[in-house]
Amino acid sequence: MATKQVTELKCGALVIGCTFDHRVADAHSANMFFVSWAEIARGKPISYIPCFRRSLLNPRRPGYYDQSIDNIYVFISSLPPPKLVDDPKPNEDSLQSRIYYVVSEELNCLQSQATSSNGIKISKLVSFSAFLWKLIASAEKSESESESGSRSDSNKRCKMGVVIDGRGRLTLNNNIKADHELEKYFGNILSIPYGEASVGELNAMHLSKVAELVHDCLKGAATEEHFLGLIDWVEFHRPEKAIVRVYCKETDDETAMVVSSGQRFPVSKIDFGWGRPSFGSYHFPWRGQTGYVMPMPSTSKDGDWILYMHLHEKHLDFVESQAPHLFRPLTPAYLNLMP
């Protein structure tokens, strides 16, 4: 179930918020809901009739999955019990949320820097993920050296996961009707492959090499076979509950984060009757120690990004100080909300 909240700000702007349980719906499903909600508010026909046909994701008989899926997911029953936190106040190790905007010129420049001469096409999302991965590794190296006064522990692992939507990967035996229903499927069809490297390795690599690591990580999971195997893996291990491994901090982990693309957020279609929104973003306030980053399309300038970041405060401070040209704090002026 979704809970809505409408709040009127002092400046006269109207804010509409809606919460979702990620076990019920992913971002694609939420987008369909937002567009339908706006259409109902304006008395228009619903353009996205959701599909709840779970049989679209039935396992194969016999089932099969690649062993690589065992490396991406871990059973919740195998994890240690969560630590009890007596003090609910934020501490220096807690995750904080900040929102930035990234101009298209900087994204194009970053993509150019991340592209090597080997012919591999590097997307803006992969380029950004690689840059952030390398930047966070630099933050860990800098902090460790400042605290110890010597060389940092460069063997500590730093993980980067990227969310992949399976709707564009599955063809369901070339059944056009089923493929159409899959596009409107309300639920979760996601996978989160991740790469890992040591702090020392990431600091020593050129950005283009880190981008290749991200690209290779996605290449193995952005296939139909991966998602068919994931469905079979879930069925084979039922009723065990599992979680993406990158969300679980292990002994040798220094830090971990996940980047999820919100570029398909249909902000121009979410009009409740008072015009196109000036701003749209997601918020991911969970209690884990894995960071979460969501780039979304800007409503102010085509090609720009609105960047929601939920990371450790020390990491947010570091990226702001080291790359202020890329991470620009979101302001009313940028959103054209100044009187």
User: 228: burial class by Cβ within 10 Å (0-12, 13-18, 19+)?
Assistant: buried
The pLDDT score that the predictor gives to residue 174 is: 64
Confidence of residue 176 (pLDDT cuts 50, 70, 90): low
Q: Two tokens at 304?
A: 């720009």
Give the C-alpha separation, 299 to 336, whole Å. 10
The percentage of the chain sitting over the pLDDT mark of 90, rounded to a whole number, equals 51
Note the pLDDT of residue 142. 74
Percent of the chain whose predicted confidence (pLDDT) is above 70: 86
Report the range of poorest mean pLDDT among 79-88, 183-192, 197-206, 288-297. Answer: 79-88
Distance (Å, rounded) from C-alpha 252 to C-alpha 198? 9
The Cα 95–Cα 99 span in angstroms is: 13
Flag whether the pTM goes above 0.85: yes
Q: Give the pLDDT band (50/70/90) at residue 8.
A: very low
Task: Identify the band that residue 9 occupies on the pLDDT scale cut at 50, 70 and 90.
Answer: very low
Mean pLDDT along residues 270-277: 86
Rounded CA separation 8/6 (Å): 7
Report pLDDT for 89: 54
Confidence of residue 179 (pLDDT cuts 50, 70, 90): low
DSSP 189-244: -EE--EEEEEHHHHHHS-HHHHHHHHHHHHHTTSSHHHHHHHHHHHHHHTT--EEE
Q: Rounded to an integer, what distance in angstroms lies between the CA atom of residue 309 and that of residue 307?
A: 6
Please say if the pLDDT value at position 60 is more than 60: yes
* Lowest-confidence pick of 195-199, 240-244, 259-263: 259-263
Mean pLDDT of 19-39: 89
Q: What is the pLDDT of residues 117-138, one digit of tens each?
A: 676 788 999 999 999 999 999 9
Residue pair 53/181 in contact (Cβ under 8 Å)? The answer is yes
Q: Is 102 exposed, middle or buried (0-12, 13-18, 19+ CB in 10 A)?
A: buried
Provide mean pLDDT across the span 144-153: 56
| More reliable by pLDDT, 324 or 144 | 324
Q: What average pLDDT score do residues 18-27 get?
A: 86
- What is the pLDDT, as a whole number, of residue 3? 35
Question: What structural domains and CATH numbers belong to the chain?
Answer: 3-329 (3.30.559.10)
Q: Is the pLDDT of residue 264 over 90?
A: no
pLDDT at 120: 76
- Indicate the helix (H) or strand (E) that contains 295: strand 291-297
